[in-house]
Structure 1
Amino acid sequence: MERHLLVVKAPDGAEIGSFAEEVKRLAEEHGLKAELHRCVGLTVDAVIIYNNGIVLIRRKNEPFKDHYALPGGFVEYGETVEQAVVREAREETGLNVRPIKLVGVYSKPNRDPRGHTVTVAFLCIGEGELKAGDDAREVFVFPVDEALKLPLAFDHGKILHDALELR
């Protein structure tokens, strides 16, 4: 799925097309040239240390529905990646997190089946009461050695491994 700023949908929710595609069609109809540029999605992921373990969610939605994953999501317009990781972690786990270290930037074009996303991953300390919310069906704290053995969504296994090497 390509990301567009505006997608046109029918009343039943079926995707008809995008504003960008319609502009391109109109331009060509009038002998003009219009270029359609694809957008890369920017996301954040949090490796949260909490109660001597690692916080993982079970995803509520596709892709990877019902798989374990790191808490995270898309950066909103006007938001820094640091603000986004704090917001996403709170929405999905109920925890207040403090990013303590940048784990890395992960940019393989096929890391997300929805399209090309680049994630900025942070090692964080979590405080507060654990409670699943937003895109998380459930939230868990796993001992580090168990978390490393779980099959995780996206490239979260690599991110977790990289984060634990920094610790």
Structure 2
Amino acid sequence: MAFDRLTCPACGATVRNYRNPIPTVDVIIELNGRMVLIERRNPPYGWALPGGFVDYGETLEQAAIREAREETSLEIYDLKLLGCYSDPARDRRIHTITTVFVAQGSGIPHAADDAVNLQLFTTDHLPTNLCFDHGAILQDYLRKAQRVSG
């Protein structure tokens, strides 16, 4: 188990500081037959699914709705779980575990917060410079969509 040792400021005892993966959410937003992707304002740069870190006291669903609104200005609804992705190398900055939802979007998309740009993409014209493991996530999404429609 990976941990560091800390000194308790109150009593001086040595305590363990456990390092755990950080929970995040990502959302595949379907809007008018296309998917919403954001171009990241911060490193790592490139195109990504809207998403981010889960705040303390927040459910995964609440975090997905908040992050979608913050980054795309869209309201989302009809959230469905696509899956969870936990490869320790999925984010080179820190070990994260993401829960990915698929949702419908409503409103006028506009890049905000951590997004410098936003575009709607069809499934056959996705950008090649996707961040994190979002390429693999989108491939899973497309495979699942094919099974449902086929």
Residues 1:95 and 2:79 are matched in the alignment: no
* Preserved CA contact (<8 Å) 1:86 1:99: no
Gaps of 5+ in 2: 146-150
Provide the residue aligned with 2:47 in structure 1.
68
What amino acid does structure 2 have at the position aligned with 1:152?
Answer: L
SS at match of 2:66: helix
Aligned length: 142
Instruction: Give the direction of change, closer, same or farther, for the CA distance of 1:162–1:125 in structure 2 (3 Å limit).
Output: same
What amino acid does structure 1 have at the position aligned with 2:140?
Answer: D
Provide the residue aligned with 1:52 in structure 2.
33
Residues 1:78 and 2:62 are matched in the alignment: no
Residues 1:43 and 2:24 are matched in the alignment: yes
TM-score (norm 2): 0.86
Deviations 1:125-150 (A, max 9, x none): 11101110010001100111112x52
Gaps of 5+ in 1: 1-19
TM-score (norm 1): 0.78
For 1:77 and 1:109, the matched residues in 2 are separated by 21
> More strand per residue: 1 or 2?
2
Provide the residue aligned with 1:23 in structure 2.
7
Deviation at 1:101, TM superposition (A): 1.7
Deviation at 1:47, TM superposition (A): 0.6
What amino acid does structure 1 have at the position aligned with 2:64?
Answer: V
Percent identity between the aligned chains? 44
SS at match of 1:159: helix
> More helix per residue: 1 or 2?
1
Provide the residue aligned with 1:161 in structure 2.
139
What amino acid does structure 2 have at the position aligned with 1:109?
Answer: P
Residues 1:152 and 2:147 are matched in the alignment: no
Q: Choose the corresponding residue for 1:137, options 103, 116, 119.
A: 116
What amino acid does structure 2 have at the position aligned with 1:138?
Answer: N
Provide the residue aligned with 1:105 in structure 2.
84
Alignment RMSD (CA, Å): 2.1
**Structure number with larger C-alpha Rg:** 1
* Preserved CA contact (<8 Å) 2:6 2:17: no
Q: Choose the corresponding residue for 2:97, options 105, 108, 118.
A: 118
Provide the residue aligned with 1:17 in structure 2.
none
